[in-house]
Amino acid sequence: MEGDFRDGGDEKAADDAWADELIERARARTAGDTPGPVAGQAPPSPAAGTSQGIPDTPAAVPAAPAAPEEPLERRPPLVTFEDLHGSSGAFPALPAEQTPEAVPEFTQQVPAGPPAQNQPDPMRQVDLGIPGPAISIRKAAVEWGSVIVGALVMALLVKAYLFQAFYIPSPSMEPTLGNGDRIIVNKLSYRLHQVNRGDVVVFEAPPGAVNGVEDLIKRVIALPGETISAEAGRLRIDGGLLLEPYLVAQDLTSGFTLPPGCLNPSGTADTCLVPPGHVFVLGDNRTNSKDGRFFGPIPEDSILGRAFLRVWPLGDIGRL
């Protein structure tokens, strides 16, 4: 009885050791490690197993109930090429390469066949209508000539009908105008209105008035039909005293005898009756001016225009 009990206990211990080793190997295989000996136990001897009648193969040993294993951590599945493009494994076909079109060459093609003497010269110059140097010079000369002629015609028209510049050659109009001043005369003024008292006018010089001078500039003092007289260096128009703010002094006008052209039936000195269509003119420099006191009234038709602007010297530019 005791011997059977010992034999039965040893066999049970061997079965337990073999089951533990099998479980350890399974765990090691799952973890990827090599199984080792179980702690606290010696590896079973094949001889002992043989002597005890333990079978060498696992199939002969009844499987012991396995201990519950801990759940293993599972990795996320990998995405493969088959998942993306199917199970065929073939790569998608690439688009076919297109052959670039040939760039046309802009060269002159010489046709083949006709004789060489009849073929066009590839280097032949083509007339594009661009004017040559001679034509350009001629065209420029015509253009500049037209501009110059047009400017001259315009200047002549302006001088004849609108404006004209004059040069003051004497001090007879001082202090209003000095010797050497330049003025602009408006020739259109008296085509629009009558001559006014106090106007500075340019007129044709009467015969024998001043030698070598064609035009004179003076101030209008008396109008047609008025009587002008001098008294104590002052002028009177139809008996009324004339105020002349443009003079240096008011009593510088010297008396005059009966000038030619005056209508003065009584023959009184220092008096002149201005005939119709005439005006009586005097210079502002009464002590140094040869004016109506010497050559008498002038015709209105002889007046070239009214001086309205001084343009020289530059510091004295202004209206008259």
Q: The domain spanning residue 301 has which CATH number?
A: 2.10.109.10
Alpha helices (runs of H) in 44-109, residue ranges in sequence order = 46-52, 81-85
CB 64 within 8 A of CB 15: yes
Range of the domain at 313: 163-319
> 57 with 194, same domain?
no
Distance, CA of 188 to CA of 184 (rounded, Å): 12
Q: Please say if 218 is a catalytic residue.
A: yes
Residue 80 lies in a domain: no
> 58 with 167, same domain?
no
- Decide which of 36, 65, 94 is a domain's last residue: 65
> 179 with 293, same domain?
yes
Residue 4 lies in a domain: yes
Domain count, the chain: 2
CB 176 within 8 A of CB 245: no
Q: Among 17-31, 82-96, 117-131, 302-316, which is the least confidently predicted range?
A: 82-96
Other Cβ atoms closer than 10 A to 305? 21
Q: Among 112-126, 190-204, 215-229, which is the least confidently predicted range?
A: 112-126
pLDDT of residue 108: 53
Distance, CA of 162 to CA of 155 (rounded, Å): 10
Q: Give the residue from 253, 261, 167 showing the smallest Cα distance to 206.
A: 261
Where does residue 252 rank: exposed (0-12), middle (13-18), buried (19+ CB within 10 A)?
middle
Residue 107 lies in a domain: no
**What are the residues facing 268 on neighbouring strands?**
none
Q: What does the DSSP 8-state code read for residue 230?
A: E
> 172 with 315, same domain?
yes
Q: Two tokens at 263?
A: 């209508």
pLDDT classification of 306: cutoffs 50, 70, 90: very high
Q: Please say if 87 is a catalytic residue.
A: no
Q: Which of 172, 189, 229, 289 is catalytic?
A: 172
In the chain, what percentage of residues exceed pLDDT 90?
30
pTM over 0.85: no
> 61 with 203, same domain?
no
Average pLDDT value for residue range 44-57: 44
Residues 6+ apart with CB under 8 A from 270: 229, 230, 231, 255, 256, 257
Residue 244 lies in a domain: yes
CB 310 within 8 A of CB 182: yes
> 310 with 182, same domain?
yes
Residue 141 lies in a domain: no
Q: Which of 170, 187, 218, 289 is catalytic?
A: 218
Residue 203 lies in a domain: yes
CB 290 within 8 A of CB 210: yes
> 177 with 294, same domain?
yes
Q: What is the pLDDT of residues 165-194, one digit of tens each?
A: 999 989 999 999 999 999 999 998 888 889
Residue 151 lies in a domain: no
Residue 162 has pLDDT above 90, yes or no: no
Q: What is the pLDDT of residues 241-260, one digit of tens each?
A: 999 999 998 888 887 888 88
257 sits in the region (left: phi over 0; alpha: psi -120 to 50; else beta) called: beta
Distance, CA of 25 to CA of 29 (rounded, Å): 6
Q: What is the pLDDT of residues 96-105, one digit of tens each?
A: 666 666 666 6
Q: Two tokens at 52?
A: 């005890």
Task: Please give the residue that has the higher pLDDT: either 260 or 112.
Answer: 260
Residue 248 lies in a domain: yes
| Residue 163 φ/ψ, nearest 5 degrees | -135, 155
Residue 126 has pLDDT above 70, yes or no: no
- Decide which of 65, 90, 113 is a domain's last residue: 65
